[in-house]
Amino acid sequence: MEVQRHTYYRLIHHGIKSLLVERVGHFTELDYHQYLNGMTGKSSCFSMSDEELQFTIDSLRDEGYLEDYQRILNFSSN
Distance CA 73, CA 11 (A): 9
pLDDT, tens digit, for every residue of 11-67? 999 999 999 999 999 999 999 999 999 999 999 999 999 999 999 999 999 998 987
69/59: higher pLDDT = 59
Report DSSP letters for 13-51, one per residue: HHHHHHHHHHHTS---HHHHHHHHHHHHS-S-GGGS-HH
- The pTM score is 0.82
Question: What residue segments make up the domains of the chain, in order of their start?
Answer: 5-77
